[in-house]
């Protein structure tokens, strides 16, 4: 099994795909063959936008992805922009489709970035939450969190969920231009608790090191 990194987040629209692209570029710069999969994408009408972004990046970085199709990167899609449980009308998760896609991609990469949907407790079907897929695929998790007010609560809750499940993980703060108050409003707490505040913009090399060695 190749190195699997599962990119999750404290909520939707936090920056999973943006962070996944940064990981791909950093690992590729180290001479590793990179791959990515958007396990489940909802809100897909004509094409899967997150998966399209990942595939464009992969075709730049790994020549063996030139023949890979969008359906290989996004094996399960639904039109409704909602949790997979709702978007699929509570259809059972097709693990065979995910496993087949992963097997195909891992033949041409050293590191596979697996991007989830929403946060850890997004329901996939009656049996699986998103956090369960991290364990099922034996992946190392990267928790992407935001830098706006409320990030302390959101980050700690998600980290507790990962710890309670005994999952290997690292946390990355995806700070945006409008998050200039983070340094004064939230970061002091994390620093006081002796937590490394790794930011996707500045510390992607360190984040990649931590993930690869977990």
The model's confidence at residue 1, banded by pLDDT at 50, 70 and 90, is confident
What total of structural domains would you count in the chain?
Answer: 1
Mean pLDDT of 96-112: 98
Active-site residue among 21, 33, 38, 199? Answer: 38
pLDDT digits (tens, 9 = 90+) for 146-164: 999 999 999 999 999 999 9
Q: Decide: helix, strand or coil at residue 53.
A: helix
pLDDT digits (tens, 9 = 90+) for 2-61: 999 999 999 999 999 999 999 999 999 999 999 999 999 999 998 999 999 999 999 999
Asked if residue 207 lies in contact with residue 198, where contact means CB atoms within 8 angstroms, the answer is: yes
Q: For residue 88, what are the domain limits? A: 3-213
To the query of whether residue 38 is one of the catalytic residues in this protein, the response is yes
What's phi and psi for 203, nearest 5 deg?
-125, 25
Domain of residue 177, CATH code: 3.40.50.300
Q: How many CB atoms lie within 10 A of CB 144?
A: 27
């Amino acid at each position: 099994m190749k190195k699997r990194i599962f990119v999750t987040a404290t909520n939707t629209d936090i920056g999973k795909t943006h962070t996944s692209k940064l990981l791909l570029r950093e690992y590729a710069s180290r001479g590793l063959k990179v791959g990515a999969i958007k396990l489940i994408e909802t809100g897909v009408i004509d094409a899967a936008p997150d998966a399209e972004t990942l595939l464009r990046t992969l075709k730049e970085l790994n020549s063996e992805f030139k023949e890979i199709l969008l359906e290989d990167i996004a094996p399960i899609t639904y039109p409704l922009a909602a949790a997979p449980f709702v978007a699929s009308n509570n259809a059972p998760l097709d693990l065979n489709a995910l496993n087949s896609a992963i097997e195909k991609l891992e033949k041409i990469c050293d590191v596979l970035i697996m991007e989830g949907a929403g946060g850890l407790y997004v329901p996939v079907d009656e049996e699986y939450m998103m956090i369960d897929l991290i364990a099922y695929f034996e992946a190392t998790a990267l928790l992407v969190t935001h830098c706006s007010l409320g990030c302390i609560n959101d980050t700690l809750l998600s980290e507790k969920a990962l710890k309670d499940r005994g999952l290997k993980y690292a946390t990355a703060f995806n700070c945006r231009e409008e998050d200039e108050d983070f340094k004064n409003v939230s970061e002091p707490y994390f620093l006081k608790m002796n937590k490394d505040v790794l930011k996707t913009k500045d510390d992607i090399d360190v984040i990649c090191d931590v993930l690869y060695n977990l």
